[in-house]
Amino acid sequence: MELRTLRYFVAVADSGSVSAAAQAVHVTQPALSRQVRALERELRVALFARRGGRLELTAAGRQFVPVARDLVHRAEAARAAAEAFAAGRLVHLTIAATTTTLTDVIAPFLATFGPDDPLPTVREVSGPDAALELLHRGADLAVITQAPPPVWSARALAVLPLFAYVRADHPWAEHTAVDLHELATQTLVVLDPSFRPRQLLREALAGEGIAPPGYVECGNPQVAQALAAAGRGIAVVSDDPRFGLRGLRITTAGGGPRIHLHGAWDPAHHAAPALAALAARIEAFCATRYGDDVLPHHDRGGAAG
């Protein structure tokens, strides 16, 4: 069964006559009639009955129309996708990232997409390794908090500070930064050790020779801020502020712990140049959202992400 024959059948079913269908698909009437008769012979069922000079679908024909139409549409979609692949365009886009990155960076970035951008899907992962594993399994772009191995194409996207979040009535609420030594005198609400902000905090404390302070541990950055808003401690996360909290940048002699965001993709991807351009757009978006000082070339040291 050829797709061309199915297209002819759908054209006749839609128009109700061979002559109108022949004009629509740009073939002669005899050729179109032969194709429809050949389809009926192949299916071993009559699809049309001639009544009053017009072709009417039989019961079998009426039931076969949606099947044929679906096959034709799928074939057209496959052809369009193949043409896009050959041209290096992205039709659909799957991005893998952790919860905080998806919430604070990727989702707001996708809100800027226009009609010419690919249709996006996001996959939430637990960490960089899981995001890179999704690249192996067909994701297009991973946005992660560690530099990817050299096997991947990559672009540094942003260098974001780690924040200490306090309530509006906290004595530090009007400050813009807090020294790590001073911060370590307080009870801290932190994420579990699998999260990059917790790892950076641990590295920064060790680098400054500071004993670990008292911790309240949780497994979600938004919950960490909620606990801080409830007065259970100071939340140390990289998220945007919530619940009316005030964010203070954490400072050290080396500049302070920071999250380094990287975009990674397969260099053999059919749309690798388009993905590189998309990563550049995310970098520019981060600068617009957070300020030019988060651009990677503004980095002046501190904990690597």
Note the pLDDT tens digit of each residue in 97-144.
Answer: 988 899 889 999 999 999 889 889 999 998 899 999 999 888 899 999
Would the pLDDT of 90 be above 80? no
pLDDT in tens, 28-85: 889 988 988 898 899 999 998 887 667 888 999 899 999 998 888 777 767 766 655 6
pLDDT band at 87 (very low <50, low <70, confident <90, very high): low
> Mean pLDDT, to the nearest integer, of 14-34?
86
Same fold, 92-159+259-298 and 163-256: yes
Retrieve residue 91's tokens. 């039709």
What percent of the chain is predicted at pLDDT more than 70? Answer: 93
DSSP annotation of 1: -
Query: Where along the chain do its domains lie?
Result: 3-86, 92-159+259-298, 163-256
Rounded CA gap, 119 and 241, in Å? 29
Instruction: Please name the fold of domain 3-86.
Output: Arc Repressor Mutant, subunit A (1.10.10)
Class of domain 92-159+259-298: alpha beta
pLDDT, position 305: 36
Rounded CA gap, 171 and 155, in Å? 40
pLDDT in tens, 228-251: 999 999 999 988 899 999 999 999
Calculate the alpha carbon distances from 33 to 30, 38, 40, 48, 132 in Å.
Answer: 5, 9, 11, 11, 54
> Mean pLDDT, to the nearest integer, of 178-206?
91
Would the pLDDT of 301 be above 70? no
Would the pLDDT of 146 be above 80? yes
Retrieve residue 189's tokens. 């609400």
> Mean pLDDT, to the nearest integer, of 267-291?
92
pLDDT, position 172: 95
Rounded CA gap, 229 and 249, in Å? 18
Class of domain 163-256: alpha beta
pLDDT band at 175 (very low <50, low <70, confident <90, very high): very high
